[in-house]
């Protein structure tokens, strides 16, 4: 029960963090269209994470997708920073996405057993 409550809190915090990407989305829509497109996806993911917080067990696949896509994002950003494609200050983003991924995997609800009638 305690783990489910912690997961709900994490889903709300991460959801709000992703929804907050709407502000830079509006700023970059003309200057950086690719970045704006990516931020648009994160805003929508944030909305769905907020909805998933009501019943995390029914949204296992969304939680898993968020965790693993956060790992993928962190990995790509790390490679880009180490190859000097992006600024080394972006490594803070790597840490943030890695923490999101680890936290969601650690708190993810287990599979529910199928009960027979």
Q: What is the pTM of this model?
A: 0.86
Buried b (16+ CB within 10 A) or exposed e, 79-117: eebeeeebeeeebeebebbbebbebbeebbeeeeeeeee
pLDDT in tens, the chain (117 residues): 688 999 999 999 999 999 999 888 888 778 888 888 888 999 999 999 999 999 999 999 999 999 999 999 999 999 999 999 988 888 999 999 999 999 999 999 887 755 554
């Amino acid at each position: 029960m305690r783990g489910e409550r912690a997961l709900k809190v994490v889903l709300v915090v991460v959801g709000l963090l992703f929804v907050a990407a709407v502000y830079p989305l509006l700023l970059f829509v003309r200057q950086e269209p690719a970045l704006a497109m990516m931020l648009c996806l994160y805003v929508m993911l944030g909305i769905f994470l907020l909805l998933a917080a009501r019943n995390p067990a029914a949204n296992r696949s969304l939680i898993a997708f968020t965790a693993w896509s956060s790992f993928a994002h962190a990995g790509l950003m790390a490679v880009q920073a180490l190859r000097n494609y992006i600024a080394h200050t972006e490594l803070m983003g790597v840490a943030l996405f890695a923490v999101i991924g680890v936290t969601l995997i650690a708190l993810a609800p287990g599979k529910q057993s199928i009960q027979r009638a």
